[in-house]
Amino acid sequence: MLKVGVVGASGYSGGELLRLLARHPKVKIEAVSSRSNIGQSLAEVTPALALPDLELRFVAPEQMDNCDLVFLAVPHGVASKMAGGLLNAGQKVVDIGADFRIKDLSVYAKWYQQQHGAPELIDQAVYGLPEIHRDKIKNANLIGNPGCYPTSVILALAPLLQAGAADCGTIIINSLSGVSGAGRGLGDLYHYSHCEGNLVAYGVGSHRHVPEIEQELSSLAGAEVKVSFTPHLVPTVRGILTTITLGVKQVNSTNELVDLYREFYKNEYFVRIQPPGRLPQTKHVLGSNFCDIGVVYDPRVKRAVVVSAIDNLGKGAASQAVQNMNIMAGWSEQLGIDYPALYP
C-alpha cells in the first residue's frame, strides 16, 4: 500500500481528494493536515467524510514523515516552501496549487506578485497533464497539477495545435465555472444571495491561469501562442464549460474535425470526443475524471468552435492528482477514479 498525506485537506479540492483516496484500492491515507484545524477530527471538519474506517485527526504539515507521497492542496506560495523538505526526505509530491506549473520564474513573479519560494526545484517539476506529459510523469518526484481552466483549454486545443491546423493568432476562450473553483474561503462574489441567478465575468485579461495556458499551448504549437481568455462565474457549485473559437487550416468540415480529435485521443480513457451534432454538458462529467470535447466547423468564417466540459474539482484538481499518482506508482491510470459522472 502507498501511504499518502494530504496538506490542505479541509478545502474543497483537498476534501474531494480524500473522498477518492478513501476508496482507492492501493492507498492508505496516513495523515491529513490543515493549520486551521489541527487536533480536530476529519469527521468534525468534513462530515461527508465520516467513514468508520477513516478516523483521522488533523496534524501539522510537518508531521508527514510516514508518507510515501504527499498532496499539497494549499495556496500559491505555500507549496514551494514545503516541497523541498518532503523531497529531501525521499517523498514524492503532487502540488495541486500553482507553484510548480509555470517554468519561467519571472512570469510566475509577475502574475503571482511574489518571488518563487523554491526556484531550485522548477527544473525537476513536471506539468501533470497526463494526456500530454505522461512519459515525464512516470519518472517524476514532483508534479505541478494543472489548473482547472487550463486543463479544459489545453485538452480542447491540443489536437489542432499539434496537427498545425490552428491559426494561433485567433484563439478566443470563454470559460464558465461553478463557484467551488474559488475555494472554501468567503467572498462577496460567492455569497448565495449574490451568486444565485447571477452571471459575472472576472479576471478579464488578468487571470492567473493565462500564463499557464500560454506556456502549454506554445509548447504544443512549437511557437509562441497568445490567447484572449475570459472566465465567468455561474450559479452552480461545480463544473467548467469552456468554449473556444479559432481560425483553422487543413480541415473543412465538422466531420474532419471530429476525426482529427478522435485520432489524437484514441488511447485516452478519460477524454471523450462527442459525435457530430452533440456538445458537452457539465452534468455529464460531474464527480468524474472525464473531459468531454465537442467540435463544430463554421464554414462561413472558416473557424472551429471547440467546447469542453470537466469537473473543476475532479479532472480540474483532485481526480487528476490521483491520475498523476497512479502513473508515478506504475499503476493503471484508471485505478480509483474510473467512476461515471453523478447524474442528475
For the chain, the distance separating the N- and C-terminal CA atoms, rounded to the nearest angstrom, is: 34
**CB distance 296 to 165 below 8 Å:** no
The one-letter amino acid at 201: A
Question: Strands (DSSP E) along 259-319, which ranges?
Answer: 271-273, 291-298, 303-310
**CB distance 80 to 13 below 8 Å:** no
Among the options 67, 148, 168, 195, which is catalytic?
Answer: 148
Return the SS3 of 313.
Answer: coil
Is 148 a catalytic site residue? yes
Residue 17 burial by CB count (10 A; 0-12/13-18/19+): exposed, middle or buried?
buried
Please state, in angstroms and rounded to a whole number, the distance separating the CA atoms of residues 54 and 63: 18
Please state, in angstroms and rounded to a whole number, the distance separating the CA atoms of residues 276 and 65: 51
- Return the C-alpha cell found at 115: 518571488
Q: Which residues, in sequence order, are CB contacts of 260 under 8 Å at separation 6+?
A: 159, 160, 163, 165, 251
> Strands 142-144 and 172-177: what pairing?
unpaired
Please state, in angstroms and rounded to a whole number, the distance separating the CA atoms of residues 4 and 66: 8
CB atoms within 10 A of CB 220: 19
- Largest Cα span, the chain: 62
Catalytic machinery residues:
148
